[in-house]
Structure 1
Amino acid sequence: MELATFGGGCFWGVEALFRQQDGVIDAVSGYEGGETDNPTYQQVCTGTTGHAEVVQVTFDPQKISYQQLLAVFFDNHNPTELNRQGVDVGTQYRSAVFFHDQVQQQDALAFIQQLSQSTRFADKTIVTEVTPATTFFKAEEYHQDYLAKNGLGSCHI
């Protein structure tokens, strides 16, 4: 099993999306990329901790590749919006790929370069940050599998 970590706005929709993918063993909502140890949702929402809302994906690379996960990620959020996704605004909602090794880093950068050279986002710049994975802090239990627990189909754009 391998790990992949993505931030694409509100983690509820991102988590639900990855849970639907064949080969994904688990998807966990959490926080990454900030300065505060064990941040709470309320702290992260202030924008002062530096964390992004992320989803840590455990996947079987024999069933789904990291490149396929990147495709799912970039197909389901707007990587040209800086520090926001739709109505969610703030650094915690930034588009981010937290890579776990050099291969993931290279794959993410190559994927972004291909997207940038395509006509998909017209003249807009992709602002997705690609940074090394740091400490992942699991979000509070009520955030885990939030959409399913609350009978919601989606909260994503």
Structure 2
Amino acid sequence: MTIRSSIVAATAAGIIAVGMLSTVSAASAEVAVRTPVPAVDPAVPAKMQTAVFAGGCFWGVQGVYQRVKGVTSAVSGYANGAANTANYDTVSGGETGHAEAVRVTYDPRVVSYGKLLQVYFSVVADPTRLNAQGPDHGTQYRSALMPTTPAQAQVARAYIAQLNKSGVWKRPIVTRIEPMKGFYPAEAYHQNYLVNNPYSPYIRVNDLPKVKALQSFYPALTRPQPVLVRG
């Protein structure tokens, strides 16, 4: 069981032990970095687009993209595993093939896929960590992009190549580009988790710094209020 799984279980029971809080506080959050503007980011038809991003715990990934202008929906879920294993308890075992991911629907007239990638690599995830983000470890926490169109795949490949040449990180990028095989929304209690639980130790240590980095790096791209999952 991961640290976060333990917190979910303890929170559900109404108990969070002092030792657990200490463990979370000691966990190292990902460090935001400034990344270059994508060199390849062609315009696409002016209709709503969908993209899927996996970058560790979906609470933080969703919390960031909910605050990006042009994003009309950011749904936490499970990507690239089977439908019958798309639930939190099973995915947490790390053997389903699923990644915790967020399906982002966006208006390309306001924000491009390339800009969403720039946000991803600069504030959402550390692309040099294999099957791990923050205190969480396992294939379900892998850094992965799931393009939904050939154009997105082209931009993703080009940007990763650009970042590898840029020298932003000393270690190689291990973010995967995976074919989109399926996305299944997560349980209701996982949706809007960052917004609903801003005082959670896990959120405060690992995810709120990502939101602050978004606001600092991309103030013109940051929404004043997050777009929430309804129902």
Q: What TM-score, normalized by structure 2, do the two folds share?
A: 0.65
In the alignment, structure 1 residue 22 sits paired with structure 2 residue 62: no
Structure 2 counterparts to residues 1-157 of structure 1, below 5 A: 1-37=48-84, 39-76=86-123, 77-122=125-170, 124-152=171-199, 154=204, 155-156=206-207
8 Å CA contact 1:38, 1:137 repeated in 2: no
SS at match of 2:163: helix
Deviating more after overlay: 30-39 vs 48-57: 30-39
The 4+ residue runs of structure 1 with deviation greater than 2 A are 35-38, 151-157
Question: Which consecutive residues of structure 1, in runs of 5 or more, have no partner in the other structure?
Answer: none
Deviation at residue 36 of structure 1 after TM alignment? 4.7
> 2:161 and 2:194 mapped to 1: Cα distance?
32
Identity of aligned residues (%): 46
Task: Give the AA of the match of 1:109.
Answer: R
SS at match of 1:3: strand
8 Å CA contact 1:27, 1:55 repeated in 2: yes
> 2:85 and 2:65 mapped to 1: Cα distance?
24
> 1:146 and 1:57 mapped to 2: Cα distance?
16
> 1:13 and 1:39 mapped to 2: Cα distance?
19
CA RMSD of aligned residues (A): 1.3
- Choose between structure 1 and 2: higher strand proportion: 1
Deviation at residue 38 of structure 1 after TM alignment? 5.0
Task: Give the AA of the match of 1:30.
Answer: G
> 2:71 and 2:187 mapped to 1: Cα distance?
21
- Choose between structure 1 and 2: higher helix proportion: 2
Q: What TM-score, normalized by structure 1, do the two folds share?
A: 0.95
Number of matched residues?
156
8 Å CA contact 1:36, 1:49 repeated in 2: no
Question: Which consecutive residues of structure 2, in runs of 5 or more, have no partner in the other structure?
Answer: 1-47, 211-231
Deviation at residue 151 of structure 1 after TM alignment? 2.8
Query: Which of structures 1 and 2 has the bigger CA Rg?
Result: 2
